[in-house]
Amino acid sequence: MDERRIASPALGARALPNQWDLIALALGFGFFVLIVEGARGMGAPLGAPVTTDLSLQYSSLPYYALRTTLRMFAAILFSLLFTFTYATLAAKSRRAEQVLIPLLDVLQSVPVLGFLSFTVTFFLGLFPGSTLGAECAAIFAIFTSQAWNMAFSFYQSLRTVPRDLDEVANGFQLSAWQKFWQLETPFAMPGLIWNTMMSMSGGWFFVVASEAISVGDTTIKLPGVGSYLAMAIEQKRVDCVIAAVVAMALVILAYDQIIFRPIVAFSQKFRVEMTGSQTETKSFVLDLFQRTRWLRALTSVPADLFDRFAMWRFQPPKMLAVKRIPVPGQVVDWLWYALVFAAALYSLKLVVTFVGATLGWSDVWQVAGYSLITMVRVLALIIIASLIWTPISVWIGLRPRVAEKVQPLAQFLAAFPANVLFPVAVIGILKFHLNPDIWLSLLIIFGTQWYIVFNVIGGASAFPNDLKEVASNFGVKGWQWWRNVILPGVFPYYVTGAMTASGGSWNASIVAEYVKWGDDTVSAHGVGAYIAKATADGDYPRIVLGVCVMAIFVIAFNRLLWRPLFGYAERKLRLS
């Protein structure tokens, strides 16, 4: 009786705080001060024309890094909210899926510059004369580089819950709400966490475009690492480029250790396996929390409220029940298809009217040719990246200790902006007379190959330990082990990673096919360079044409290749 009371976290609330409580309190207070300091400048007046004073002094980098980090985490919170609503609706409703997943393909294919071109004026109009409008535009741009990957991951996990677990949930008579929180969300956690880390890194990859926005005559430069890096590139300050990379590396290391490492360690409890894992991910922040008294007692209250929330059974009052008129499902499907087709036709009419006022069919065929070139470039790079990184990622994911050490390095490499390599690319291509169509392609895959890495690591990390032990006991090794054991297990995760890497590569082509270093410009043939040049010129009809043709190619690419692969992986996993 006494031992149970001593071990109870609730009793700790009556005891004196220990030294770990004081350390946790100091860390929490420090974070609060940093958030207040960073948020204080978000509502400052916006100078003329629409920019803020920036400096390349090294002493400005800590504050700029703080502002960038706050934007990144604001965007990731909106991305999580989007993921839990959008992806869940797509996975649970067949009719919603027929619209939401193709729409997600379109949104993934629209480049960050495409969103910025048409949202900057809107956000500035919401908060005239205030930096808050520009901050909202930057956060929205970062959101568009994070949300789609997370939504695809969560959707894939919800669709591939093992059938035996689903039958157990039905046996316990869990409602749809309870099944979502007690089974499906925990099952999706390992993949979602790794994809959230990837999305944070993806935000860094496009941070220059998000904080240093230039669309025609509209220029926005917000205090941040991205705008600092853009100014350093514009003034050819190699020392400042290196300083920005160092600041970015320190920030990534900090939030990896303080936020993501504890979450990854905590997510180990959600692994689907019959036997315990041999190794365990460690986190000093999680250990600190587990040693506190008051902090654990305080968190027991919201934890209990969440348990009640997750086990809540919806029982609508009988008086509100309305007798439904039976309608054949096929009739509803045809009505739904007609509504979707009408909406798509109306959107196409608006685009044709806007673009056709100044451009002709010759421009359409030109952009289609550029899109075909970019598609071949993207497909070749995805194949090369898959052959290289899939076995490496499986090896890392099956070894939690190795994954623990590789995690911050992988986040840094995934976050490494392609803009940092612009000096090397431009100088090397001009000096040695290299072909931009070949050598600029490396910049495309430099950031997007990590979608494959993070997803495959997440899949290998979630691979049941009991299945590994069974394969080991039966002596399954070599190619047989790859073909019959691990590849089927990680294949759904790989398809999700490759599909998002493909969409990210189309997006990255905007940055990689049109490269500037000071006054020097190197351009490759492709739709990315077409959109980037149109954006720099403020040519909205060409921006719309380039984005729409790119979206059509991406949707066709996904429907002909990635969707059949995803369906195959889903069927195999559900039957296993």
Phi-psi region of 44 (alpha: psi -120 to 50; beta: other; left: phi over 0): beta
Half-sphere exposure in the Cβ direction for 369 (13 Å, CA): 7
DSSP 8-state class, residue 323: P
- Residue 214 pairs in a beta bridge with 219
Alpha helix (H) residue ranges in 357-440: 361-397, 400-415, 422-432, 436-439
| 540/542 Cα distance (integer angstroms) | 5
* Parts of the chain with a pLDDT under 70: 1-15, 43-53, 109-118, 213-219, 270-282, 313-333, 336, 415-420, 422-423, 447, 518, 570, 572-576
DSSP 8-state class, residue 345: H
Q: What is the pLDDT of residues 376-417, one digit of tens each?
A: 999 998 999 999 999 999 999 888 888 877 877 777 777 666
Q: What is the pLDDT of residue 551?
A: 81
**Paired tokens of 359:** 């451009």
Q: Which domains does the chain have, with CATH numbers?
A: 1-41+280-310 (no CATH), 44-271+359-575 (1.10.3720.10)
Q: What is the pLDDT of residue 8?
A: 45
Q: Does an H or E element contain 521, and which?
A: strand 520-523
Is the torsion defined by CA of 491, 492, 496, 497 positive or negative?
negative
Q: What is the pLDDT of residue 50?
A: 47
Decide: helix, strand or coil at residue 13. Answer: coil
In this structure, the strands spanning 218-221 and 514-517 are unpaired
* Residues 232 and 244: beta-carbon distance below 8 Å: yes
| 68/471 Cα distance (integer angstroms) | 46
**Paired tokens of 525:** 């043939």
> Which backbone phi and psi does 236 adopt, to 5 degrees?
55, 45
| 294/301 Cα distance (integer angstroms) | 12
Predicted structure pTM score:
0.74
**Paired tokens of 286:** 């999680």
In the chain, count H helices and then E strands: 30, 4
With 0-12 / 13-18 / 19 or more C-beta atoms within 10 angstroms meaning exposed / middle / buried, residue 270 is middle
Tell me the angle at which helices 329-356 and 540-557 cross, rounded to the nearest 10 degrees.
150
For tokens 């490269």, the residue is 515
Alpha helix (H) residue ranges in 83-146: 88-92, 94-109, 112-126, 131-144
* Residues 549 and 397: beta-carbon distance below 8 Å: no
CA angle 522, 527, 532 (to 5 degrees): 55
* Residues 517 and 422: beta-carbon distance below 8 Å: yes
Q: What is the pLDDT of residue 116?
A: 67
33-41: long-range pairs with CB below 8 Å, 24+: 34/66, 35/70, 37/63, 37/66, 38/63, 38/66, 38/67, 38/69, 38/70, 39/70, 41/67, 41/131, 41/223
| Amino acid making up residue 10 | A
Transcribe 259-292 into DSSP letters.
IIHHHHHHHGGG---SS--SS----HHHHHHHH-
Cα 524 to its chain centre, rounded Å, is: 27
- Among 155, 71, 87, 255, which Cα is nearest to 569's? 155
Count of CB atoms situated within 10 Å of the CB of 3: 7
| 340/318 Cα distance (integer angstroms) | 34
Q: What is the pLDDT of residue 403?
A: 80
| 460/449 Cα distance (integer angstroms) | 17
| Amino acid making up residue 430 | L
**Paired tokens of 531:** 């959109």
What radius of gyration, in Å, describes the C-alpha atoms of the chain? Answer: 25
* Residues 488 and 503: beta-carbon distance below 8 Å: no
Distances (CA, A) of 421 to 241, 260, 428: 10, 27, 11
Q: What is the pLDDT of residue 485?
A: 86
> Which backbone phi and psi does 229 adopt, to 5 degrees?
-65, -40
* Residues 429 and 512: beta-carbon distance below 8 Å: no
* Residues 161 and 185: beta-carbon distance below 8 Å: no
